[in-house]
Every structure is written in structure tokens, then in C-alpha cells.
Amino acid sequence: MVIEKLKKIIQESHNIVFFGGAGCSCESGIPDFRSSNGLYSKKLNRNFTPEQAVSHTFFMKYPEEFYDFYKKHLIYPNAKPNDCHIALAKLEEMGKLKAVVTQNIDGLHQAAGSKKVYELHGSVLRNYCMKCHAFYDADYVMEADDVPKCEKCGGTVKPDVVLYEEGLDDQVISGAIHAIAQADTLIIGGTSLVVYPAAGLIDYFKGKQLILINKSTTSADQRANLVINEDIAWVMKEVMTQLEQDNLNKK
């Protein structure tokens, strides 16, 4: 029944924006890094929470420990797009979906074929030298023995990922806000809406239909026209199957 409702909303919409979080990538084998036990450093004889381990301060003070945690918990080179990513790319191809706004850093939306993606927290696929800004891919970082260094100038290579204590990119934020403000339907999926300032962007939505797809309840449930407490990958696959069947029947 809820899939039928979602299908009808999508069919009647002309400008959909999808706002997603960690739940979108779970089916691809990428857990939320906060679900780890953090980091125990023998050298420092201290325990660090996941949030501390991926903070700007930690990166600057303890780059070796940072990269130890980062490589284990934030980079998944073998991850492939799942049914959620694929469905969103198809909706964009159909002209329904105008943008994806994601809190994820895995690049799986683009891998699935999505063209308009606003990555609020950056991407593990991009890395830059802090001195000369030379670009390095994720493989270069993964293959480095400890802290990746620039081949050109010897500077430290830093992931293009927004760490705790760092601000979001102004251009990305303004693009995401513009997309959300223009949307007639906003689908929020795979996020509990607890990470700010990213979660606050949904307040710019002034359209007709607000859809929430998440396994657990969120702070925006009461504002939503439709709440689906199911796995986002399953929901998106089901609704796309029905949409494609309807399109076939019309031909």
C-alpha cells in the first residue's frame, strides 16, 4: 500500500530531490562509521571515539592514527551501488529526479549513473595535497604505508572529506539549498536527521510532498506526507519495478 502511494506521488511530481544518508549505502556493505568502537591507539595509550578520530584536530595532531581509522572505517573500495542508488539514477534519467543531496562520502550515487549530486560531506574518491593541491585518488591513499605524501612537493595528502570541526563547502550548500527549495517533492531516505548542519537543509523545502523512508523514526516524521519505516534499498527497488511496469503497460 505505501509503495503504491509513493509510486503515485512520483508519477505526479515533476521536480523531485532526494536527500540521503548512511542508510542508503548499508546494502552496499558500508556501515555507518559511528557504529565502530572508535580507535585505540597503543602509541598514545588512549581510546578515541569515532567522532574524535575523524576530527580536524585529530587529523592535524595524529595523522598516522587518523589514517589508520580512516582506511578501516571510511573507505570501501569494493562497494558497488545498490538498488537505492540505481533507482535514483533511473528516476533522474526519466526526468523526474532533479538532484541528489547526500551526506555520504562513498561516490556510489555517481557510480550508479546519477549526474546531479551534491556531496555535503565530500568524497573519499578525491584527495589533495595540503601544500600544492595536487590531486590523488582513493587507491593512492589506500596503498600508502601510513600517511600519504605528495609525490610533487612532499606535503601531506588530505581527503576531500568534511571532518568534524570543519565547515561545509559554500558552493555545495548553496546548490543543495537551491535544489531543495525548487523541488515539488522531497524524498528523505536512509538518514535519522541528527547530523547538522546537513539535516537543517530540509527546512528549505516548500513543496507539496515530503516523503520519509527510514528504518527508525526521525524528527521530521510529523511533517511528512508519507512515512515508510522500511529499508530504503528495498523500497526504491519496489517502487521502480512498479513504475517501469506501468510505463510498459502504457506502450
CATH number for the domain harbouring residue 234 = 3.40.50.1220
> In whole angstroms, what is the distance from residue 204 CA to residue 74 CA?
29
Buried-state track 36-47, b at ≥16 Cβ within 10 A, e below 16: eeebeeeeeeee
For residues 138 and 17, membership in a common domain is answered with no
**Number of domains making up the chain:** 3
pLDDT, average across residues 123-133: 98
> For 62-83, how does the pLDDT look when each residue is reduced to its tens digit (9 = 90+)?
999 999 999 999 999 999 999 9
Per-residue confidence (pLDDT) for residue 180, from 0 to 100 = 98
For residues 21 and 92, membership in a common domain is answered with yes
Query: Does the structure show a pLDDT above 90 at 214?
Result: yes
pLDDT bucket at 103, cuts 50 / 70 / 90: very high
Q: Which of 111, 145, 161 is a domain's end point? A: 161
> For 154-189, how does the pLDDT look when each residue is reduced to its tens digit (9 = 90+)?
999 999 999 999 999 999 999 999 999 999 999 999
Position 181: which residue type?
A
Q: CA angle at residue 4 from 239 to 191, to 5 degrees?
A: 55
> For 11-52, how does the pLDDT look when each residue is reduced to its tens digit (9 = 90+)?
999 999 999 999 999 999 998 877 777 788 888 888 999 999
DSSP state of 225: S
Q: What is the CATH number of the domain that holds 137?
A: 3.30.1600.10
For residues 51 and 9, membership in a common domain is answered with no
**Residue entry with cell 548553496:** 174
For residues 151 and 211, membership in a common domain is answered with no
Q: Range of 155's domain? A: 125-161
Q: Specify whether the CB–CB gap between 243 and 97 falls below 8 A.
A: no
Closest CA to 89 of 29, 24, 137, 30: 24
Per-residue confidence (pLDDT) for residue 22, from 0 to 100 = 92
pLDDT bucket at 248, cuts 50 / 70 / 90: confident
User: Any idea which of 37-46, 109-118, 133-142, 191-200 has the lowest mean pLDDT?
Assistant: 37-46
pLDDT bucket at 247, cuts 50 / 70 / 90: confident
Position 4: which residue type?
E
Closest CA to 22 of 32, 36, 14: 32
For residues 86 and 45, membership in a common domain is answered with no
Catalytic residue of the set 73, 121, 133, 178? 121
Query: Does the structure show a pLDDT above 70 at 251?
Result: no
For residues 204 and 107, membership in a common domain is answered with yes
For residues 221 and 238, membership in a common domain is answered with yes
Q: CA angle at residue 90 from 85 to 96, to 5 degrees?
A: 110
For residues 45 and 151, membership in a common domain is answered with no
For residues 156 and 230, membership in a common domain is answered with no
For residues 107 and 182, membership in a common domain is answered with yes
Active site residue 121: yes
For residues 111 and 136, membership in a common domain is answered with no
For residues 246 and 155, membership in a common domain is answered with no
Grid coordinates given for 179 = 535544489
Position 136: which residue type?
Y
User: pTM of the entire structure?
Assistant: 0.94
Looking at the DSSP bridge assignments, the partners of residue 164 are: 55
